[in-house]
């Protein structure tokens, strides 16, 4: 890789860290939907985009939209993006990295004086984390025409609605329809940190995402009887809700470990009014199950309900369960993902690693209307949503090189680009009639 690309990678990291100083909370990085600090972010990007010869605007949902023109006026368009908002006390790379990378790739093309047979739009979505309105993906939902009136009426902790927040920022919620994707867009690519430990553990820099896992979230309530820990013998006279719950937690771990691709976690387990010398009468626990295969996830949830019922019943404990989320897996577009994988392979000299994303991303939303793909960058320590979140400069350099290789393939392989455009048209048609 060129010395120039190394410097560009350093610059990408420096820009992410500069943006991390745009915050609602001094001393940390916290930036929610259209908070005042978002203006600084827009201003920084606007400068970088204009230097690269890109047009730039803010759409009615507050997302930044910059376009590098193609070599003809009605060129097909590739969308590259991620989100500008953060969780509370965040790191500098989750989301932002993907937007900065998109601009950096355009700058590389512009610096080399290259024009492409397609335009590149870089999108920085205003909202993905769901912090302010307890509803994620507001920015990308606007691009697929799903930021509807119900969502615009949601209010934050101060009673301010999404629509009002848009007005307060100087934008017009009546223009939301104009935020919808340009019909020329044939694909969406998102660069994102892995936010997990897999690439680091394997000594790899990059992975192509094959799918975003589906999620089931449930609550399990085991109800036994509180009794004196000393005077109640073991066995049939004891109805220990925790003993039942614990046997179930052990099975959650065992079942997931033996099922390829499945992850299952009991993150919360509460014993109301617990005391050391009282047999737990009630346990309330959560279950989070994810898999790229919906059938695997549905079978897991079903098995774990049946198992919970059996360990409860064996102890004279009753079980109630409720499902709060049941979200299907989203498969990435095979043509786009393969082109990304070949680009990674060309750059690294090794076959590209494929990973399933266990977390949700904007690509999950965009994929409803446009073929989408993602590239993951190694996350040191698997650490994310934390001030110590980091990326390695050599991984950013690798991702930039793979991105440039991918853009060159789209330019050089005319048949593939035409195929992608046809796919996108068919895909959008299908989505519209689904």
| Residues making contact with a copy of itself (CB under 8 A) | 194-198, 201, 213, 215, 217, 227-237, 240, 242-243, 245-247, 249-250, 252-253, 256-257, 262-271, 274-280, 286, 288, 290, 357-360, 382, 384-385
Q: What are phi and psi of 265, to 5 degrees?
A: -140, 135
Rounded to 10 degrees, the C-alpha dihedral 247/249/251/252 comes to 160
Residue closer to a copy of itself, measured from CB, 113 or 260: 260
346: enclosing H helix or E strand: helix 334-348
Residue closer to a copy of itself, measured from CB, 78 or 241: 241
Shortest gap between Cβ of 191 and a copy of itself (angstroms)? 16
Shortest gap between Cβ of 66 and a copy of itself (angstroms)? 29
Residue closer to a copy of itself, measured from CB, 229 or 392: 229
Shortest gap between Cβ of 63 and a copy of itself (angstroms)? 24
Helices (H), 52-180: 96-111, 138-143, 149-153, 162-168
Residue closer to a copy of itself, measured from CB, 169 or 255: 255
Can you say whether residue 191 is alpha, beta or left, with left for phi > 0 and alpha for psi between -120 and 50 degrees? beta
Task: Kindly state the tokens that stand for 400.
Answer: 């930039």
Nearest partner of 279 among 317, 236, 226, judged by Cα: 226
Residue closer to a copy of itself, measured from CB, 183 or 272: 272
DSSP sequence for 411-423: HH-HHHHHHHHHH
Q: What are phi and psi of 84, to 5 degrees?
A: -100, -15
SS3 40: helix
What spatial distance separates the first Cα and last Cα of the chain, rounded to whole Å?
44
Residue closer to a copy of itself, measured from CB, 113 or 203: 203
Residue closer to a copy of itself, measured from CB, 121 or 194: 194
Burial of 172: CB neighbours in 10 Å, binned 0-12, 13-18, 19+:
exposed
Distance (Å, whole) CA 32 – CA 62:
11
Shortest gap between Cβ of 233 and a copy of itself (angstroms)? 6
Distance (Å, whole) CA 195 – CA 235:
45
Shortest gap between Cβ of 334 and a copy of itself (angstroms)? 23
Distance (Å, whole) CA 172 – CA 163:
8
Shortest gap between Cβ of 269 and a copy of itself (angstroms)? 6
Shortest gap between Cβ of 373 and a copy of itself (angstroms)? 18
Task: Kindly state the tokens that stand for 420.
Answer: 């992608």
Residue closer to a copy of itself, measured from CB, 279 or 410: 279
Distance (Å, whole) CA 248 – CA 149:
42
Residue closer to a copy of itself, measured from CB, 80 or 364: 364
Shortest gap between Cβ of 139 and a copy of itself (angstroms)? 21
Shortest gap between Cβ of 201 and a copy of itself (angstroms)? 6
Residue closer to a copy of itself, measured from CB, 145 or 316: 316
Q: Decide if 85 contacts 62 (C-beta within 8 A).
A: no
373: enclosing H helix or E strand: strand 372-377
Shortest gap between Cβ of 430 and a copy of itself (angstroms)? 28
Inter-helix orientation angle 96-111/393-412, to 10°? 60
Distance (Å, whole) CA 193 – CA 404:
18
Shortest gap between Cβ of 304 and a copy of itself (angstroms)? 13
Residue closer to a copy of itself, measured from CB, 158 or 231: 231
């Amino acid at each position: 890789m060129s010395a120039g690309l190394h410097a560009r990678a350093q610059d990408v990291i420096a820009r992410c860290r500069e943006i991390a100083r745009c915050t609602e909370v001094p001393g940390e990085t916290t930036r929610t939907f259209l908070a005042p600090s978002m203006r600084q972010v827009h201003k920084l990007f606007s400068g970088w985009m204009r230097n690269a010869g890109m047009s730039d605007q803010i759409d009615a949902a507050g997302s930044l939209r910059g376009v590098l023109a193609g070599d003809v006026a009605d060129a097909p368009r590739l969308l590259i993006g991620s989100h500008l908002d953060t969780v509370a006390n965040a790191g500098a790379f989750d989301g932002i990295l993907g937007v900065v990378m998109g601009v950096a790739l355009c700058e590389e093309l512009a610096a080399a004086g290259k024009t492409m047979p397609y335009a590149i739009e870089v999108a920085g979505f205003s909202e993905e984390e769901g912090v302010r309105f307890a509803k994620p993906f507001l920015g990308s939902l606007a691009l697929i025409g799903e930021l509807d009136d119900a969502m615009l009426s949601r209010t934050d902790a101060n009673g301010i609605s999404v629509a009002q927040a848009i007005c307060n920022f100087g934008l017009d919620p009546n223009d939301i329809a104009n935020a919808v994707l340009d019909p020329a867009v044939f694909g969406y690519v998102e660069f994102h940190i892995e936010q997990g430990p897999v690439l680091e553990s394997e000594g790899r820099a990059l992975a192509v995402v094959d799918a975003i896992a589906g999620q089931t979230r449930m609550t399990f309530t085991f109800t036994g009887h509180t009794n004196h820990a000393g005077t109640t013998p073991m066995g049939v006279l004891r109805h220990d809700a925790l003993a039942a719950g614990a046997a179930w937690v052990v099975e959650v771990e065992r079942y997931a470990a033996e099922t390829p691709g499945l992850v299952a976690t009991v993150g919360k387990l509460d014993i109301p009014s617990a005391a050391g010398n009282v047999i737990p009468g009630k346990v309330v626990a959560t279950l989070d199950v994810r898999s790229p295969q919906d059938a695997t996830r549905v079978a897991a949830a079903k098995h774990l309900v049946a198992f919970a019922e059996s360990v409860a019943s064996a102890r004279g404990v009753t079980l109630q369960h409720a499902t709060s989320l049941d979200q299907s897996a989203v498969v990435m577009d095979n043509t786009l993902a393969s082109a990304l994988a070949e680009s990674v392979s060309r750059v690294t000299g090794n076959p590209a690693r494929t990973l399933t994303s266990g977390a949700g991303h904007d690509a999950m939303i965009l994929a409803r209307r446009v073929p989408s793909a993602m590239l993951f960058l190694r996350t040191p320590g698997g650490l994310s949503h934390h001030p110590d979140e980091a990326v390695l400069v050599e991984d950013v350099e690798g991702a930039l090189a793979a991105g440039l290789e991918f853009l060159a393939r789209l330019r050089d392989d005319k048949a593939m680009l035409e195929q992608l455009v046809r796919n996108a048209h068919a895909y959008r048609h299908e989505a519209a009639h689904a």
